[in-house]
Structure 1
Amino acid sequence: MTTDSLATSSFGEDPEKDVGLNSSPKDGEVHLTKYEADLRDAAEPPFTEEVEPAANGSALERVASAKPSVNNIKSVPNGGLVAWLQVLGSFFIYWNSWGIVNTFGVYQTYYETGLLASSSPSDIAWVGSIQAFLLMIGGAIAGPVYDAGYIRSLLLGGSILTVFGQMMLSLSTKLWQVMLSQGICMGIGLGILFTPGVAILSTYWSTRIALATGIAAAGSSLGGTVMPIVFYRLQPVIGFAWATRVLGFIMLFTLIISNLTLKVRVLPAGRRKMIDYTALKETPYMLFTIGQTLAFVGLYVPFFYVQSYVIRTGIAKPDLAFYFLSIINAASTFGRIIPGYMADFVGPLNLIVPFTIIAGILCLALTGAHSVASVIVILVIFGFCSGTLVSLPPTIIVQLTANRAVIGTRIGMCFAIVSVGLLIGTPVSGAILGASSFTYVWVFGGIFTVAGGLAMGACRVAKGGWTLVRKC
């Protein structure tokens, strides 16, 4: 996923050619599709210029800025060893950010039946929701820090907090200890890590940005697939404490790779604002943000509770049930890559709306799923559809924003608001479960996800009208 702060590249000899002011490209120049151009242009600010006296002192003449521009794609590597190493480093940032959040469902089930059996599902869910909340809002706040050039501080600080929180979790025996280590400490660390990991790719890739970001984003799904299996296989053999430490050592090793490979090529020409108040007056942007928030209230309900559901209802034995979370995440891998390519042809809004609604309907369908086969089929399709809610929003916000100088700010604002949905969704589901049954948990998650899809559908109408064949 591409986010708010994208760095810049150097000017050539002709400033107008470099910033793309010519109306038609010459032979040999790189041609970008609209999707690739939108991702490339998601910079804040896009470029700067300076003026200096002419030789005769009679007038001012324009010169290229001393600070380079992201719009000069000629100097973007777009391949090569160093560029691919950035993909590798970003892959493991995704692995250790959203991949960790996607893993919490296995902890939710274990806590309910073991370590924190005396706590309610709602109380336990607060740990995972706070972790996800801090990841998303922390990523928005860390944007200006990245703009200022402190990528090393972000990577190192985020890595230390994340691994330290995981290791402290291995010593935790009470809910407040789990909250401090896994919820707060790791949540802050993940939020700090997230921004540099996803922002740096656009400084190394232009025409192949979709491929690069798709491979990197797959790290979150693969991390969410592998980590639960490792925990489940090791916990009965070596115990909770050492199983958790093994995951911590995996995180440490992969984050060392990210710290060694991620390297700033160029920095933005200035720091972005935290808030763009004009966005609050634009109907499409607000409808999309509201839709995202509503969708994320319900989206993570299956991630957190499907394993408990199949175990408690006797649909599947624990040995099989613990793989269900990995099934969702594995399917989500394809849901992050394939729609990114499809969006270039049909438009990202035209994809995210039906996929979100389908995901909500599938959550509702879990109320009638009483066999292993039916649950697995639902989870595979749900996982694929849910991937679009992670991969497409930055591109959509780019398309909804006319002023390129505030794209980063608007992405950060949207993420900050959406984080509220992440914060409250799963704890409310846990409270519903404590007071009733899983049927109402799936209804709650499904209704909010469908409502989010409908709100984004209203955004699509506000942006592109009622014509279904229009790319939007």
Structure 2
Amino acid sequence: MDGLQVVNSKVSLQPAAVCRHPLLVSASHIRLFVLYFFGTGLIASVCDRRYSPNRISVLNSASRRWSHVLNQEKRDLARTPVWLPRSAYVRLMTSPSAGRRDSEKAPKSHDDSQSLAQQPAALSASAAPDGGARAWLQVLGGFFILFNSWGIFNTYGAFQTYYEQELFPSSSASAISWIGSIQGFLLLLVGSLTGPIFDMGYTRVLMIVGSFLMVFSLMMTSLSTQYYEVRACCKAERCNNLRMCPLPQAFLALGVTFGLGSGCVFVPGVAIVSTYFNKRRGLAVGITTSGSSIGSVVYLSVFHQLQPRIGFPWTVRVMGFIVLATSAVSIAVMQRRIAPSGRRRLFDAKAFAELPYTLFCIGNAISFMGTYIPFFEAPAFAAARTSASPTLAFYFLAILSAASTLGRLLPNFLADKTGPLTMLAGCATATGILALSWLAVHTVGGFVVFCVLYGLFSGSLVSLPPAAVASLTDDHSRLGARLGMAFALAGFGLLIGNPVAGVLVDLRTGEFWKGIVFNGVAVLAAGTLLLAARVAKAGWSPKAKV
């Protein structure tokens, strides 16, 4: 573990890597506390009685020895960090050598030093449990975090269709799509900004605050339909009474508040799981990230089945209660195993001096700009351009999300052999070609095939970028800052893409071709830039694993 080195039952602490916790103190603090109070009590009890000159000499000798003990404890205390991680504190107090000074510890034999040389110097990824109940509970907790955060975001296509047809029929698709775009933008941006807070040890605080904001967001979204001026206000050309207009309320509740909450829990959800696994890390992370697609399918089904029966307000509240229950599981079971060696930097200017990384960041941002357009517009397209029933049109979004589950697992498995950046460039190119083929879709069967293939290839555009950044980073101590910068730029791409597509889509006439062309060209351009980043890093050789 960073900050704690275990060698033959000896514990050495590295103050640069410890995690500050206001409730935990070192062993020297406790020994000094106990010795002080017991020692002063003993001296007071002796001085309180009659004593002879012999007792005075005994007391003076005891006082000198007592002063020596206190000075030794103070010297030990000066060499010990004030705050310790909980796991380090437990190991320190239970270690056989915890109560002995360095001078009192037995020297190691030559055989012991040879055996210890084969052990890792610190508790690292190689010492991960790689299984067990506690490790798989972290996978469960991370699964539910992505189930709620990305699952609700991937469900926004259902909200978009309902807002367009029922709640805000006179508002443009572009205006309504800003709600989902700001939600995804804040999810990525806040997720990158909360990295240093996570490094400081406030994991549970982030999860509690984020879960509260997500539940609060959905409850406030359900209240926006209780104002009886909803239709009249939105039909007006200019809305002068913002307090009674539900569009700003939906933007603040479902867009801003939910984006802030999901951004707070995003980093713990993906960072904790990887520290518990080594050999099976790919499987564990794959199961965790599949929560986003499975959550989308579940929330879409809940929305479609309950909204006609109990209405929009109570449907959204039921979704909020699901978020509350599953978030409680994550808060209860998730616990960080190791502390980082230091605080993560938010910005690394030297990274953009490297051409491969710069090309990747631009390509990744353009990829997020176009990838999610079908997830926002698929139900409206199916209803307007195919003969699908309203029920089937709604479930095209669920088909996209279900296929995306495989798209997040299978390419990650293949990327271990080809390299993550190579696989990402290929999947982006295939996704762009599929997006342009959307122009030829006019039947229900054709749209089903398109949704399956598009979800299969586009899923990798979300799951592979972290591994691609790692392959472009030689110094992994800078990996956290680079990941944060890449996802922050991707958030800006996500913020821009869907509103632009909404402007290009005309719901009144059913014209979608402009938005489809924008989708395909954007993802194809992203694939070209990602391929350029791969060539700049390793050349044209297909054997290079990047």
TM normalised by structure 1 equals 0.85
Q: Percent identity?
A: 46
Residues 168-204 of structure 1 show CA distances to partners (whole Å, capped at 9, x for unaligned) of 1001131111001000010100000101111101221
Structure 1: distance between partners of 2:168 and 2:125: 55
Say yes or no: does 1:178 pair with 2:250: yes
Say yes or no: does 1:463 pair with 2:537: yes
1:269 aligns with one of 315, 331, 341: 341
1:92 aligns with one of 140, 144, 147: 144
- After TM superposition, the structure 1 = structure 2 runs for residues 42-441 of structure 1, keeping only pairs within 5 Å, are 69=122, 71=124, 73-74=126-127, 76-173=128-225, 174-434=246-506, 437-441=511-515
Structure 1 position 469, deviation (Å): 3.4
Q: Which amino acid aligns with 2:124?
A: N
Structure 2: distance between partners of 1:172 and 1:72: 48
Structure 2: distance between partners of 1:188 and 1:273: 21
Indicate the RMSD between aligned Cα atoms, in angstroms. Answer: 1.9
Structure 1 position 135, deviation (Å): 0.1
Residues 39-58 of structure 1 show CA distances to partners (whole Å, capped at 9, x for unaligned) of xxxxxxxxxxxxxxx99xxx
Structure 2: distance between partners of 1:264 and 1:354: 35
Structure 1 position 70, deviation (Å): 5.7
Change (3 A) 1:8 1:373: farther
Structure 2: distance between partners of 1:465 and 1:238: 59
Structure 2: distance between partners of 1:420 and 1:8: 34
Structure 1 position 420, deviation (Å): 0.5
Count of residue pairs brought into register by the alignment: 417
TM normalised by structure 2 equals 0.74
Structure 1: distance between partners of 2:493 and 2:125: 38
Quick check: 2:149–2:266 contact (8 Å CA) kept in 1? yes
Structure 2: distance between partners of 1:79 and 1:241: 42
Residues 21-73 of structure 1 show CA distances to partners (whole Å, capped at 9, x for unaligned) of xxxxxxxxxxxxxxxxxxxxxxxxxxxxxxxxx99xxxxxxxx9xxx956352
Structure 2: distance between partners of 1:416 and 1:253: 29
Change (3 A) 1:345 1:115: same
Quick check: 1:9–1:72 contact (8 Å CA) kept in 2? no
Q: Which amino acid aligns with 1:73?
A: S
Quick check: 2:400–2:455 contact (8 Å CA) kept in 1? yes
Structure 1 position 266, deviation (Å): 2.0
Counterpart of 1:114 in 2: which secondary structure? helix
Which sections of structure 1, spanning at least 5 residues, go unmatched? 1-6, 15-53, 56-63
Residues 352-394 of structure 1 show CA distances to partners (whole Å, capped at 9, x for unaligned) of 1111111111111111100111111111111011111111111
Change (3 A) 1:370 1:306: same
Counterpart of 1:423 in 2: which secondary structure? helix
Structure 2: distance between partners of 1:205 and 1:466: 33
Structure 1 position 471, deviation (Å): 2.1
Residue number in structure 1 paired with 2:81: none
Which sections of structure 2, spanning at least 5 residues, go unmatched? 9-101, 104-116, 226-245
Structure 2: distance between partners of 1:72 and 1:446: 40
Q: Which amino acid aligns with 1:80?
A: G
Instruction: For CA contacts below 8 A with separation 6 or more, give which structure has more relative contact order.
Output: 1
Quick check: 2:400–2:454 contact (8 Å CA) kept in 1? yes
Structure 2: distance between partners of 1:148 and 1:449: 37
Structure 2: distance between partners of 1:350 and 1:375: 28
Residue number in structure 2 paired with 1:451: 525
Structure 2: distance between partners of 1:467 and 1:198: 32
Structure 2: distance between partners of 1:450 and 1:8: 42
Counterpart of 1:11 in 2: which secondary structure? strand
Structure 1 position 434, deviation (Å): 3.6
Structure 1 position 313, deviation (Å): 2.2
Residue number in structure 1 paired with 2:12: none
Counterpart of 1:96 in 2: which secondary structure? helix
Q: Which amino acid aligns with 2:165?
A: T
Change (3 A) 1:159 1:411: same
After TM superposition, what 4+ stretches of structure 1 lie above 4 angstroms from structure 2? 7-10
Structure 1 position 456, deviation (Å): 0.1
Structure 1 position 305, deviation (Å): 0.2
Quick check: 2:386–2:443 contact (8 Å CA) kept in 1? no
Change (3 A) 1:125 1:407: same
Structure 1: distance between partners of 2:411 and 2:473: 21
Quick check: 1:131–1:183 contact (8 Å CA) kept in 2? yes
Structure 1: distance between partners of 2:373 and 2:446: 18
Structure 1: distance between partners of 2:414 and 2:3: 28
Structure 2: distance between partners of 1:358 and 1:201: 30
Structure 2: distance between partners of 1:443 and 1:411: 30
Counterpart of 1:172 in 2: which secondary structure? helix
Structure 1: distance between partners of 2:276 and 2:367: 32
Quick check: 2:125–2:275 contact (8 Å CA) kept in 1? no
